[in-house]
Amino acid sequence: MVVEVSRGDFLLVTVVLGGGAAWLSGRAIASTWRPYRQVVTYALLLGCVVRFFHYALFQGTLLSGQHFLSDTAFLLALATLGFRAERASQMATRYGWLYRQAGLFGWVSGRRP
């Protein structure tokens, strides 16, 4: 259902190339203090690019709604994780007097005693 042509095609194009680009674009959006809605926009655009790569390189279906949605959902998830990781780091670093980092993706109010 998720894999169209082959598993190697999916791993190379969607996971490695698209996932890496999604993670980095999520971090770039957060590092410039832009809103989360831009993550969604860029994930949709990356979904189009990934679908084109599947079509151009591996003779996949270009206009496949099912595969576009699965690719884009994966890319949106990675872009969101990149965004949250960068934003958590920013909040703890720049507002250390008010927040501290709680794990890789979050921050909490207050400092440790």
CA 71 to chain centre: 11
Residue 3 neighbours by CB distance under 10 Å: 13
pLDDT tens column, 81-103: 999 999 999 988 888 888 888 88
pLDDT at 34 over 70: yes
- Phi, psi angles (nearest 5°) of residue 101: -75, 135
Q: What's the whole-model pTM score?
A: 0.86
CB-neighbour burial class of residue 38 (10 A; exposed 0-12, middle 13-18, buried 19+): middle
Residue 85: helix, strand or coil by DSSP? helix
Q: Which two tokens stand for residue 13?
A: 């194009």
For residue 69, what pLDDT band results from cuts at 50, 70 and 90? very high
